[in-house]
Each structure stands twice: as structure tokens, then as C-alpha cells.
């Protein structure tokens, strides 16, 4: 009898995410800006990586198909200029696809070093010039609107006059008054800005707020200069970084920002790794994410930020199971010869998408099928006596058994059989 064909994906997974409507980004393709090497390093807990590690992270960003990387704020002084210069040089010499951007305050002393580095290496560097726009920032800084407008116009004109594209960033946009934003964005566009960045500097926004604000900015841009693009830059203070970024894309943002592991000021920025995974699963991007774990591990090692076991997708536990029911389902799927099924039957994220695999282990919540599978994978005969011995040890343990512990049980049983035979 002919083997039954596997049922189509649509019959195996009913996707409630698309049951009501299929949300899509308003503009395509989706663009990504990695801030790990600039905004990410403002975290109070990170260490500034040596240039070798920064270069490693930059290459990993490129391998993930990230469009641009903020490589630093050269206006901060000679050490930053040196690192930014080396990173830009690497992009040029290695012919990387990723493009460099640099942050700057809206002052000439911050923008001129970017111009000099751009001219030295013969590559266009996008300037990200920022200034506070919210009433609370204006009050704390003793700024008036005339001063902010003057700084905005001067900074944009300086960059454009030297042939560099500039993204104008209003810090704390999500708490800024629309009348002020209208003036600032209009001034930036008149002066030649090619992008505007809607910035949730203190992680204030909810998805409803993002939708309202980004839609409002898009309408304003469409009236003033439709070719100007809009970015979204979000923080994690309310834990809404990823969903806010997805909402921003739906509402009309062209590009969204993030950092590896979500590092950044206070509790951090939108995690770029989680953002990439969600965009891929939604079908909004099509990138090779198989080096995702390597990227996150490199960021963790370089900055001293721990990669916790339960961190989504790239944490140690993301694709491990020791639970009997879960493991049994994966084992049954593999017995069908269907790795696609095995990778999804108990996982909302396919491990293979990020270069990993489902791992079945043995612990106090395991069934005997876990033990049999573990032994079979290592080509060890799963005798009833050996399975029972490992199973009993697991049930009396308060954690997963390590591979070495299970192998020691196997050796003990082997020695016992040898003694009996002799």
C-alpha cells in the first residue's frame, strides 16, 4: 500500500494570528537598524567591547541581513572616533552589505567627525541627529522652540551640504505635543532630512499609542514630502518593545531599530533577535537567521550581559524538553520521518529556523520514552533493565540528568552484566 502523503501545513496548524485579519507592514521591504554598538552600550551594566569583538558583532549583523548599523557617536571623543573609523573601514574593505550610521547631537561638533570619517573611507554614512522634543525635556533643559528649531535646521543643512543623508530624531516623541512635532518635522524636511525617527526614548508607548502617533506622522509626511521615510525606535521599559515595533510597521514606519539581547539604557531597547524572529514568522522578511544564536552569544560575551537559560529562541532552554508528554509527541513525529512536524509539534518557533534543533532530555518530569530516545540517539541498546535504572534515577532527581550522569549509569549496568557473565 502506498504511503500516505503528509497533510498540508494549513491542516495541521490553525493560525488564530491570521483568523481575524492578516496584518501587514504598510511599506515593504521592512528595513532594520541595529543599535547594539551605540545605543546598546549606554546600558549601565554593559562593558564597552574591544574593537575585535565589535568587528565580530558587525559581521554577524551582516550575516543576518540587517540593513544598517549605528557604529557610534564620534562626537564623544577620540576613542570613539577610532572605533567608528575601524568599523567603517571594515564595511568598506569587506564589501559588506550592511551600511554604517552614526549618532550625533544636533550640533556641528558632533556632525563634523562623521563627515571626516565618511570622506576618509569613501562611503556615505547616515547621520542620526537627535534632540529632545517633549515638554518635560524642554522644561528640564530650559529650551525654547526657537532654539530647538534653529539647532534642527543647522544640523540638517550641515549634513546635507556635505552630501550625507540625515535622519532627524526627536527624542521622547511619544510624549511630545503634535504642535511641536509639526514644527520640528516640517523644519527638518525643509532643510533636507531624508528620514524622521519617532522615538520612544523612555518606553512610554503602548501599541495603541504607537499606532496613533506613527499614523499621524505618516499623514504629516505625506502632506509635506512623501519621499521622506519614517523610523521607529523603541525601548523596553514596559516590556512592549517587540509588539510596538510590529505595530509601528503596520502603521507606516519603514524601518525599526533594535539591539542584540535588547541591551541599552535602563532596561534596554527592542531586542533585535526577537524582532527578527517575529518578522520572519509573520512573513514580513525572509532572512537567513541560522547565525542568530552566535550573534546573541557574541553580544553577551562582548558586553558582559548574561544570556539567561530561558531567553526566547537563543537561550539554553528554548528547544529543550524533559517533560514526558512533550517529548513523546516529538518522538512520534520523528518516527513518522517528518522533521518539519517534529520541529513544530511542541514549538511555536521552529528551531531549524535559527540553526538549532529540538533536544529531548531526561529528568523528573520525563517518561520512559525520553530515556529510550536518549539511548537510541547515542546508539546505546535500550534494554528494559537499563531504561528502568535511568528512569528511576531521573524520578528521584530534582533536575535534568546530565549526559555524563546517564552515561555513568550505562557504564555501571555494563559492568554489572560483565560480572554476571563471568
Share of the chain above pLDDT 90, in %: 83
Question: Tens of pLDDT along 330-357?
Answer: 888 888 888 899 899 889 999 999 999 9
C-alpha triplet 57, 59, 63: angle, nearest 5° = 115
**Is residue 299 pLDDT above 90, yes or no?**
yes
Cell numbers found for residue 11: 491542516
- Alpha-carbon span 347 to 326, nearest angstrom: 10
Number of Cβ atoms within 10 Å of the Cβ of 219? 11
Cell numbers found for residue 358: 529540538
pLDDT at 13: 85
pLDDT class for 3, splitting at 50, 70, 90? very low
Which secondary-structure segment (H or E) carries 260?
A: none
Comparing 269 with 415, the larger pLDDT belongs to 269
Q: Which of 164, 187, 245, 176 is nearest to 216 (CA)?
A: 176
Is the CATH code 3.20.20.70 the one for domain 25-303?
yes
Interval 193-203 mean pLDDT: 97
Which secondary-structure segment (H or E) carries 80?
A: helix 78-93
Query: How do the domains of the chain map onto residue ranges?
Result: 25-303, 320-421
Ordered alpha helix ranges (H), 304-358? 324-335, 339-342
Interval 385-414 mean pLDDT: 93
Q: Which of 100, 66, 97, 92 is nearest to 288 (CA)?
A: 66
Q: Tell me, what DSSP letter sits at residue 25? A: -
Interval 122-134 mean pLDDT: 97
Comparing 325 with 234, the larger pLDDT belongs to 234
- Alpha-carbon span 159 to 129, nearest angstrom: 9
- Alpha-carbon span 51 to 71, nearest angstrom: 11
- Alpha-carbon span 244 to 236, nearest angstrom: 10
- Alpha-carbon span 350 to 358, nearest angstrom: 9
Assessment of whether the complete model's pTM goes beyond 0.85: yes
pLDDT class for 28, splitting at 50, 70, 90? confident
- Alpha-carbon span 188 to 293, nearest angstrom: 39
Share of the chain above pLDDT 70, in %: 97
Q: What is the largest CA-CA distance in the chain?
A: 96
Question: Tens of pLDDT along 29-87?
Answer: 999 999 999 999 999 999 999 999 999 999 999 999 999 999 999 999 999 999 999 99
Interval 92-119 mean pLDDT: 98
Distances (CA, A) of 51 to 54, 261, 294, 297: 5, 19, 18, 17
Interval 192-213 mean pLDDT: 98
Interval 205-220 mean pLDDT: 98
**Is residue 1 pLDDT above 50, yes or no?**
no
**Is residue 21 pLDDT above 80, yes or no?**
no
pLDDT at 4: 45
- Alpha-carbon span 422 to 16, nearest angstrom: 63
Question: Tens of pLDDT along 145-174?
Answer: 999 999 999 999 999 999 999 999 999 999
**Is residue 2 pLDDT above 60, yes or no?**
no
pLDDT class for 201, splitting at 50, 70, 90? very high
Q: Sort residue 342 into left (φ over 0), alpha (ψ -120 to 50) or beta.
A: alpha
When the pLDDT of each residue in the chain is averaged and rounded to a whole number, the result is 94
Q: Strand 195-200 and strand 166-171: pairing?
A: parallel
Amino acid at each position: 500500500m502506498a504511503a500516505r502523503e503528509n497533510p498540508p501545513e494549513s491542516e495541521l496548524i490553525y493560525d488564530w494570528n491570521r483568523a481575524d485579519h492578516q496584518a501587514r507592514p504598510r511599506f515593504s521591504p521592512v528595513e532594520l537598524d541595529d543599535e547594539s554598538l551605540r545605543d546598546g552600550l549606554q546600558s549601565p551594566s554593559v562593558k564597552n567591547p574591544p574593537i575585535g569583538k565589535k568587528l565580530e558583532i558587525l559581521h554577524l549583523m551582516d550575516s543576518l541581513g540587517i540593513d544598517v548599523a549605528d557604529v557610534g557617536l564620534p562626537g564623544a571623543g577620540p576613542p570613539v572616533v577610532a572605533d567608528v573609523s575601524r568599523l567603517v573601514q571594515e564595511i568598506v574593505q569587506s564589501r559588506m552589505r550592511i551600511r554604517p550610521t552614526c549618532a550625533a547631537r544636533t550640533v556641528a561638533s558632533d556632525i563634523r567627525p562623521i563627515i571626516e570619517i565618511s570622506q576618509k573611507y569613501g562611503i556615505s554614512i547616515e547621520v542620526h541627529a537627535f534632540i529632545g522634543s517633549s515638554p518635560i525635556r524642554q522644561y528640564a533643559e530650559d529650551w525654547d522652540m526657537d532654539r530647538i528649531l534653529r539647532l534642527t535646521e543647522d544640523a540638517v543643512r550641515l549634513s546635507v551640504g556635505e552630501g550625507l543623508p540625515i535622519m532627524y530624531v526627536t527624542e521622547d516623541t511619544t510624549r511630545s505635543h503634535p504642535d511641536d512635532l509639526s514644527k520640528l518635522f516640517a523644519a527638518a524636511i525643509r532643510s533636507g532630512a531624508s528620514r524622521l525617527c519617532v522615538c520612544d526614548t523612555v518606553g512610554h508607548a503602548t501599541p495603541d499609542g504607537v499606532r496613533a502617533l506613527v499614523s499621524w506622522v505618516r499623514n504629516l509626511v505625506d502632506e509635506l514630502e512623501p519621499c521622506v521615510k519614517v523610523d521607529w525606535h523603541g525601548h523596553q521599559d514596559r516590556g512592549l518593545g517587540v509588539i510596538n515595533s510590529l505595530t509601528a510597521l503596520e502603521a507606516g514606519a519603514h524601518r525599526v531599530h533594535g539591539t542584540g539581547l535588547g541591551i541599552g539604557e535602563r532596561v534596554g531597547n527592542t531586542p533585535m533577535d526577537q524582532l527578527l524572529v517575529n518578522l520572519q514568522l509573520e512573513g514580513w522578511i525572509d532572512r537567513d537567521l541560522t547565525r542568530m544564536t552566535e550573534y546573541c552569544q557574541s553580544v553577551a560575551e562582548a558586553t558582559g550581559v548574561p544570556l539567561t537559560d530561558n531567553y526566547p529562541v537563543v537561550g539554553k532552554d528554548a528547544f529543550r524538553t524533559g517533560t514526558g508528554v512533550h517529548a513523546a509527541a516529538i518522538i512520534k513525529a520523528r518516527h513518522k520521518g517528518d522533521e518539519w512536524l517534529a520541529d513544530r509539534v511542541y514549538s511555536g518557533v521552529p528551531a531549524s529556523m535559527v540553526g538549532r534543533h529540538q533536544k529531548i532530555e531526561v529528568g523528573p518530569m520525563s517518561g520512559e520514552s525520553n530515556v529510550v530516545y536518549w539511548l537510541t540517539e547515542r546508539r546505546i541498546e535500550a534494554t528494559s533493565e537499563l531504561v528502568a535504572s535511568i528512569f528511576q534515577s531521573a524520578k528521584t532527581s530534582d533536575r535534568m540528568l546530565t549526559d555524563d550522569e546517564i552515561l555513568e549509569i550505562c557504564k555501571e549496568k555494563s559492568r554489572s552484566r560483565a560480572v554476571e557473565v563471568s
